[in-house]
Amino acid sequence: MTLSGIGSQITEYANANNVNEPKIKFTLELEENNKLPFLDVMISKNTEINSNFQTNVYRKKTNTNRYLNFNSNHHLSIKKGVIKSLYDRAKLVSSNVNFFNQEKDHIKNILKENAYPINLVDKAFLQIENPSHNNQQRQNPVANMTIPYIPGISEKIKKLGGVFPNNVFPVKSYSTTNKL
């Protein structure tokens, strides 16, 4: 809900509503310097141009910039997914090119702090920006089977993929009840 008025009136309104129903608590954010954070978006009022709004990525003061470390025991596709999700959020939330470029630089810096090779980040950005350079679409349909990732073994199984018909890997599947 958006309210306009003097800050003390809005605070009084929220406090009055908090008294009415103890199970529901209202919190509020007040605009400061023509800026208002909402979820992960900073909304800025541009007073110079017809009071238009601009948006960019917002991080709370408590944000630690910790993401999945590149040296963690996860498949490379998961790590590339971290890069893509941060890029997509920047693209979606940034209302102009300057904000977007600042956010891309910030993403590169925080991924570098999380041990991501900068050339991998640059390559991922390029693949996102130029999807025509991505992998060629396969002409024949492919059946896939998902298996758990096991370092060293999963890569070997993937290399064997062409040996089996339709790239289906002969891996026995276990359900939770079989493990108990």
Residues 32-42 have pLDDT tens digits of 888 888 889 99
**CA 163, CA 8: separation in Å to the nearest integer?**
72
Domain locations along the chain: 19-133
Mean pLDDT of the chain: 79
pLDDT above 90: residue 169: no
Q: Which has more confidence, 149 or 167?
A: 149
Strongest mean pLDDT among 24-28, 113-117, 125-129, 147-151: 113-117
Q: What is the pTM of this model?
A: 0.64
Sheet holding 41-46, edge to edge: 35-38, 41-46, 52-57
Q: Which has more confidence, 179 or 68?
A: 68
pLDDT above 90: residue 131: no
| pLDDT attached to residue 101 | 95
Say what percent of the chain tops pLDDT 70.
74
The label of the residue with tokens 């929220």 reads 14
CB atoms near residue 79 (< 10 Å): 22
What token pair was written down for 61? Answer: 């003061």
The pLDDT confidence band at residue 146, using thresholds 50, 70 and 90, is low
